[in-house]
Structure 1
């Protein structure tokens, strides 16, 4: 069913359909070198996962692409424009939800549109659409303290979709939920990827999750983070979730990645 392709990255990786390009990006915090000379491109309409040992710079790279953290050297280009800060073509889903506690689900989801000056009727229409998409119909008037962790994360995901960004950056979005909900979120995410046709950059510590959801996996080395390997899982998306998780190709890809990371485990 699936046969992963593992390859070493070329010195400079670029594709004609790249929406995000990372060109020679390095990041230094004081005397700590977090990233060194990252060269990557991210294909339009695909989900790419950044994977690697703790401290390898996955989240740092994601935040540099988002424009939340400046690179020490190198540049990020999105739609062939240099990134100098946050922009409407990128939306970030935070690990800790980052919801406004005083706002309802409806207002949280539509807040990005509110900041852009979208009229109330239109932003409510868009927010309702994505509230329905993530399975939160009936919770529009609830506040974050009334929601479970999984529901809060669904609000964060709906908010990111509502602003209609080209690129969605997701920093360990499912790490705070239990395994049952995590698997359901993974399946829901794949449905949204197919429906929305967006570009996803996804950070996770879970090898199984990376292989299950990804079109491509970028494996980063220990600090300073460098691109050490690129894996194309080649999952058959016509199969059921259970068939995928039992498939020898899926299991072999998980094991091969673990073999590469085993000696970095603490």
Structure 2
């Protein structure tokens, strides 16, 4: 699928404005160019997936947006402000969960609010809400070592949601769970995108996952990375999450992305 084809795919309405703008960003690690003059817009209230071959800079770009890495050139702009460091407008969901092993589920989920000085009663009430939203009611007083990998990932997602950041950055959040839980998480993620009115930036290696969960897919080229294509799946979005994987448009987009990425497969 060409960028032109993708851009003219049927849409249910006008594209929203951008919450995050990546403007001519480059990133060098010594002599290695990871990103080169990369520009990309992330529509407000939507989920955009970053998809591409291993080592193409997806996580590097995510960390630059988070303010965890500084670009060698270019800038990240969020709601008119240039990113120079981590901030409360962004929350990061790490691939390896990054939970506090000595803290209970509710303490982990409320930890960002605790750092902000929110009173205990208020932060625990907020944490309980998001613990329930990710399906972990009853586990508030459990500890990470008592949870499955999938449950720990839910804790990480609830923690990101609880700080009420407008941009959620997810670095392969489902890669460490089994296929059944991964599918359930994908369905839950679609519900969160629909209900939370936040902007999600999602890194994945799975073509099927990207097409299933995304309003927009940005395909990145191998190092030095830049955007190859922008795809906006639209025809199956209102047909119910249980029908997406059988929809002809879904299947066609998966096949077309695989055709464009096949030559980069190791």
TM-score class, shorter: over 0.9
| Contact 1:5-1:233 at 8 Å conserved across structures | no
Task: Please tell me whether the aligned partners of residues 66 and 86 of structure 2 are also in contact (alpha carbons under 8 angstroms).
Answer: yes
1:149 equivalent to 2:178? Answer no
TM-aligned CA deviation for residue 163 of structure 1: 0.1
- Give the deviation of 1:243 after TM superposition: 1.6
- Distance in 1 separating the partners of 2:24 and 2:126: 38
Match of 2:12 in 1: none
State the distance in 1 between where 2:166 and 2:7 align: 27
Distance in 2 between the 1:16 and 1:48 partners? 13
Deviation at 1:236, TM superposition (A): 2.6
In 2, the alpha carbon distance for the partners of 1:16 and 1:185 equals 25
- The match for 2:251 is 251
Report the counterpart of residue 24 of structure 2 in structure 1.
24
Deviation at 1:96, TM superposition (A): 0.3
- Which consecutive aligned stretches of 4+ in structure 1 deviate over 6 angstroms post-superposition? none
What is aligned with 1:74? 74
Give distance in 2, aligned partners of 1:90 and 1:264: 31
Who is 2:11 aligned against?
Answer: none
Cα distance change of structure 1 residues 196 and 16 upon mapping to structure 2, 3 Å threshold: closer
The 8 Å contact of residues 149 and 176 in structure 1, kept in 2 or not, is answered as: yes
Contact kept? 2:236, 2:249, Cα under 8 Å: no
**Alignment partners' CA distance in 2, 1:6 and 1:236:** 15
Is 1:195–2:199 an aligned residue pair? Answer: no
Unaligned runs of 5+ in 1: 9-14
Partner of 1:126: 126
Instruction: Tell me the SS of whatever aligns to 1:155.
Output: helix
Which position in structure 2 is the counterpart of 1:12? none
Tell me, in whole angstroms, the C-alpha distance in 2 between the residues paired with 1:39 and 1:247: 31
| Contiguous gaps of at least 5 residues in structure 2 | 9-14
Rounded to whole Å, the distance in 2 between the matches of 1:5 and 1:213 is 20
Q: Is the 8 A contact 1:235 1:244 kept in 2?
A: no
2:23 and 2:38 in contact (8 A); partners too: yes
Q: How many residues align?
A: 257
- Corresponding residue number in structure 1 for 2:44: 44
The one-character-per-residue Cα deviations of 1:44-80 (angstroms, maximum 9, x if unpaired) are 1010000000010000000000000110011111111
Q: 1:42 to 1:179 in 2, by over 3 A?
A: same
Classify 1:265/1:188 alpha carbon distance in 2 versus 1 (closer, same or farther; 3 Å).
same
Say which SS state the counterpart of residue 100 (structure 1) adopts: coil
C-alpha distance in 2 between matches for 1:70 and 1:148? 34
- CA distance in 2 between counterparts of 1:40 and 1:209 reads 20
Q: CA deviation at 1:16?
A: 7.2
Counterpart position of 1:165: 165
SS in 2 for 1:121: helix
